[in-house]
Amino acid sequence: MLRLHSFKTKLLLWIMPLLTLGLLSLSGGAYWYIDHVVQEELTASMLSVTAKAAESVNTWCKTLLLEPETIASTPAAKTINQSFQQIDEENANRHSFLHQKYPDIFLDIYAANREGVYHTIQQSGDRLSIFEGSIQNRDYFRSIMAGGPSQITSPLLSRTTGLPTIFVVAPITDDKQQPQGLIGTGISLEYVQHIAENLKIGKTGYGLVIAQDGSFIYHPDQSLIMKKKITDIADPEVVELGKQMLSGHSGIFHYTSQGEKKVAFYQPVPLTGWSVAATLPEAELLAPIRQMLQWLTGITALILLLIGGVIWLAANRLSRPLQEMEAHTGEIAAGNLTLEPLTVKSKDEIGSLARKFNSMAEKLRTMLHELEIKNTSLEQEITARRQAETALQQAHDSLEIKVEEKTQELLAANQELTAMNEEIQTANSTLATMNQQLEEEIQVRCQVENDLVLRERQYRASVSLLTRPIEEVDHCLKAILQNALQLIKAPGGYIGLYDPEGTEFIIHHAVGIHESLLGEKMSAHTGMKKDVYRSGELIHTENYQCYPGLNGDERLKRLSSVVMLPLKQDGQIIGILAASWIDERHPISQEDIEVIRQFGDLASVALERASVYADNRHMAFHDSLTGLPNRASLNRYLEGEMQKARSGIASGVILFIDMDDLKMVNDNFGHSNGDAIITAAAGHIRSVLDPGAFVARLDGDKFVAILPGEENCRQAAQIAQKMLTALNREYPVADQSLHMSASIGLVIYPVDGDTAEDILKKADSAVYAAKKAGRSSWRFYDPSLQQETYEAILLTNSLRRVLERGELSLHYQPQLLPDGQTMVGFEALLRWHSPEYGQVSPLRFIPLAEKNGLITPIGQWVLEETCRFVKRLSALGWDDLHVAVNISPKQLLAGNFVSRIRAIIEAAQVKPEQIVLEVTESVLIESLEQSVEKMQQLHDFGVALALDDFGTGYSSLTYLKSLPVDILKIDKSFIDKNCTDHDQRQLVASMIELGHALNLTIVAEGVETEPQLELLQQYGCDCIQGYIFSKPLPEPAALAFLEQKRKASPAPDRP
């Protein structure tokens, strides 16, 4: 605690104000510089990013104009007003070329004559189709026919595809340069929207693109695109921004939207009149400046605290002796005399005072010790006297307790002897009475023994009937009825059943007077049958004709006495077991009732067995989830159809239906939601087909529909398309809608086969072809599909034994600096030389290994071989080189992936930083959060990580910044077009610039020519991999390549 008059406090109050004044002056100057100069640099950087985006759009538009202008100048175009034939053929030839050149954005190509009639060429399934229409009322047609130049339209909805489209059109002119029609291509807005999406600045900033009329070409709010103009926005400051963007100039615009200050950087696209802008909150733009100022303030405060602390410690050291003496004085006052003497170093007054203080404390300790000795002696004497008194009292109490216990034992023994005498007398009397009762009981048993033997024999005979096959249930019930009536000597009776609603009653088995009623439906709401059904209890009467509510049937006039027992199943009354006597009243005894109850239980068991058998039979041949026939039922039905087909009396179509991506729903939303989709899909399938069609669920997400009598391919295709339309829809999943689709394979029997196994196998091949074609489609069976599947099975079978046969090997492709002399490392590439198939391409066998679960052991072997190669490199003095290994999706998603990688590297005793694991973008996207966690663990272990085929997947700055990668590999597809495509060059340059901005090493793979190498050197690419330096080499050749580089450059400066 600070004391105002202490030495330490006064020292701080003199020095700290002077020091604070100096530091505040220095901080003020730095504040002014950061607030003005850094803000100007941020603004210039934002304008540069927007300008690059606008230039990319403008360059893209220029490239698009070349195609229609080229076609418009051909001789075929000149004949458009005579006939469309030649220009349609020309456009059809160009369609495939343009579709390959612009696979993601090219939609269609069309030609229009001077009357505005157009023919468009469009992809329809596996072939091209021609559609006709009119564009006479389109503004761009009028402009072209008025002599206007080639142009790119504002975004429109295509009349052919119905998609948002821009049309790139060029005039067709005659020899006098008069317009005779036009050539146009439909281009998707996807590229422009992709550029705008990448304009996202900061966390909440976004990009937007507007057309010359102010309509939105791109905006993060999808509801605005092509549906609203920026000048129609209710916010006046946003409208003013739109006017500035449409002025044709670039600039910066500050405005307020929804209470938040924002700034927009906009640039025009000269060729189209569009405008590109990036906008973000001012607070986010200036956030770095504010953070720097906060750091400056914090550092100033920290310096003040540090200097103040030093001054405080110096003052504290000077005043420490007095503080120690003060503390010792307080301890002695509190009674603590065990303290060590004060350390006396000085010979001044403070030292003299400390020595006298030590002498006083020593005398006090001596006096206290003497007092403690006397006190201890007194306490020991008092304790000994108390122990003697306690022992004497305990001895007295123990003696009293023992005397009392012996007295109680003697009293208990006397009482026990008295009770035993009384029990013996009572037992003698009881034995005499029991002997008399036993003699009487023997006489009664002799009288009823014959009746019991008869009842037991008939009951066992009835029970034995229950063990017979369930098909004999009627015979069993009839025997039960006859045995029951015989035991109670009843001449008539029956077993009858109610209908499920309990309104009607039918007799199924009858004896005597009731035989005339067999199989006849009668009301269940009359007489005794009504009361039995309502009460659920046995009812009997000895005067049946007087029972209330009888229906007066003349056939039953002779009945006199009746017993009716309800037959129950799962607590529900299902029927009656009845016994009856005629002409004379029969007294119904309790024994008769017990016999009826026993045989009624047997009848109920027999009926229960019949019901369970029916339920089990239904379950055996039907799917429990959808209620459709299952695989067993399908096999029975299909075998019957095939027998008729082999006899020439049946034919039809089989549809093999497979729901797409249902596993994704089960994995992400749970199997209950997946089951709901399967149930809904089953209903949609039934709704499409005629009642005569047979539909079954195989398992999982697979269904089979059999259409007997349908063998027309056209009609089968129409049914398949109708089926796809019914299944391709939104399904409710976990409080949201999820779009699902299906793939369908079709086979025609007996054309494609006449056995159940063969026809299902071919249907499965057809549905696999549909999935391979892009899913959400259908395909007829093609014999080539089975051959392809057969070859894949054989290849997979050989692939299972490649490791034990030693057929795999690794080739190593060098990675060098752009100078071509300095080695950086290798990439390990897997090769398979099969004795049966020769050299098998990795593009063929690696997908098979992943599909059949073989990639994990193969991947482990590759990493082990790579580590062995790395260890050999280190032994040869190349311990600064790395070797890259590709990782498959199955490996990365395995639960023990990280531990397995670590174990292999540690077992090989190589440095983790010499291993580079390459992962493709698509693998990461499958499970981004889980993948990033595993990659971070490997990165912490020391393994380098590379993002392979960058740019071909889901490239995003957001997720790229979150990945713990060290290397970006640019895919070969970008390198191939680097010299011929201006946009591609800009894209490659941007990738390299982006990677360097994130402190990543850039590797270009697939470099094959000098021009490609020169451009990559200009862009600042870090490493080169490709045939320009070396093809992939087996291990001996790779080591020889290294030795060659060592000789060419004895002291390489390897990174």
| DSSP assignments along 863-887, one per residue | HHHHHHHHHHHHHTT-TT-EEEEE-
Mean pLDDT computed over every residue of the chain: 83
Q: What is the pLDDT of residues 236-245, one digit of tens each?
A: 888 888 888 8
Q: What share of the chain has pLDDT > 90, as a percent?
A: 32
User: What is the band of 98 on the pLDDT scale with cuts at 50, 70, 90?
Assistant: confident
User: What is the band of 61 on the pLDDT scale with cuts at 50, 70, 90?
Assistant: confident
The segment(s) of the chain belonging to CATH 3.30.450.20 are 73-188, 198-287
Model confidence at 94: pLDDT above 50: yes
**pLDDT for residue 1055:** 39
The segment(s) of the chain belonging to CATH 3.20.20.450 are 806-1048
**pLDDT for residue 456:** 61
Highest mean pLDDT among 149-163, 665-679, 1018-1032 belongs to 1018-1032
Number of CB atoms found within 10 A of residue 1007's CB = 25
Structure tokens at 553: 């049937």
Structure tokens at 202: 């900061």
- Give the dihedral of Cα atoms 273, 278, 281, 283; nearest 10 deg: -120
Model confidence at 1052: pLDDT above 50: no
CA–CA dist 1003, 816 (Å, integer): 9
The segment(s) of the chain belonging to CATH 3.30.450.40 are 466-615
CA–CA dist 608, 618 (Å, integer): 15
CA–CA dist 285, 290 (Å, integer): 10
Query: Which tops the pLDDT comparison, 813 or 394?
Result: 813
Q: What is the pLDDT of residues 686-716, one digit of tens each?
A: 999 988 899 999 888 999 999 998 767 788 8
Closest CA to 830 of 911, 871, 884, 894: 884
Structure tokens at 241: 């921004």
Q: Give helix then strand counts, H and E, for the chain.
A: 31, 34
Highest mean pLDDT among 24-38, 369-383, 648-662 belongs to 648-662
Q: What is the pLDDT of residues 641-650, one digit of tens each?
A: 999 988 888 8
**pLDDT for residue 640:** 92
**pLDDT for residue 811:** 97
Closest CA to 1052 of 824, 818, 875: 824
**pLDDT for residue 315:** 65
Q: Which CATH code is given to the segment(s) 466-615?
A: 3.30.450.40
Q: What is the pLDDT of residues 523-554, one digit of tens each?
A: 988 999 999 999 999 999 999 999 998 888 88
Cβ 1025 vs Cβ 824: under 8 Å = no
CATH fold of 806-1048, please? Answer: TIM Barrel (3.20.20)
CA–CA dist 178, 170 (Å, integer): 13
List of long-range contacts for 319-325, beta carbons under 8 Å, 24+ apart: 319/6, 319/7, 319/8, 321/346, 321/350, 321/354, 322/350, 325/350, 325/353, 325/354, 325/357
User: What is the band of 66 on the pLDDT scale with cuts at 50, 70, 90?
Assistant: confident
**pLDDT for residue 317:** 64
CA–CA dist 463, 1034 (Å, integer): 81
**pLDDT for residue 387:** 75
Model confidence at 345: pLDDT above 70: no
User: What is the band of 69 on the pLDDT scale with cuts at 50, 70, 90?
Assistant: confident
User: In what helix (H) or strand (E) does residue 550 lie, and over which residues does it extend?
Assistant: none
| Rg of the chain over all Cα atoms, to the nearest angstrom | 49
User: In what helix (H) or strand (E) does residue 395 lie, and over which residues does it extend?
Assistant: helix 349-465
**pLDDT for residue 490:** 93
Closest CA to 540 of 465, 497, 604, 600: 600
Query: Which tops the pLDDT comparison, 277 or 433?
Result: 277
Kindly give the pairing relationship between strand 151-152 and strand 702-708. unpaired
CA–CA dist 186, 344 (Å, integer): 99
Q: Which CATH code is given to the segment(s) 73-188?
A: 3.30.450.20
The segment(s) of the chain belonging to CATH 3.30.70.270 are 631-781
Q: Which CATH code is given to the segment(s) 198-287?
A: 3.30.450.20
Q: What share of the chain has pLDDT > 70, as a percent?
A: 85
Q: What is the pLDDT of residues 412-461, one digit of tens each?
A: 766 776 777 677 677 667 766 776 777 777 666 665 565 555 556 555 65
Query: Which tops the pLDDT comparison, 25 or 881?
Result: 881
Cα 715 from chain centre: 38
Specify the pTM.
0.41
Model confidence at 1053: pLDDT above 50: no
Residue 731 identity: Y
CATH fold of 631-781, please? Answer: Alpha-Beta Plaits (3.30.70)
Query: Which tops the pLDDT comparison, 1015 or 405?
Result: 1015
Q: What is the mean pLDDT of residues 101-106?
A: 78
**pLDDT for residue 381:** 72
Cβ 781 vs Cβ 764: under 8 Å = no
CA–CA dist 271, 65 (Å, integer): 10
Q: Which of 90-94, 578-582, 912-916 has the lowest mean pLDDT?
A: 90-94
Q: What is the pLDDT of residues 167-209, one digit of tens each?
A: 899 999 988 889 999 999 988 887 777 887 877 777 778 888 9
CA–CA dist 740, 966 (Å, integer): 38
Q: In the 3-class helix/strand/coil scheme, how is 755-804 assigned residue by residue?
A: CHHHHHHHHHHHHHHHHHCCCCCEEECCHHHHHHHHHHHHHHHHHCCHHH
Residue 90 identity: E
Model confidence at 52: pLDDT above 80: yes
**pLDDT for residue 231:** 83
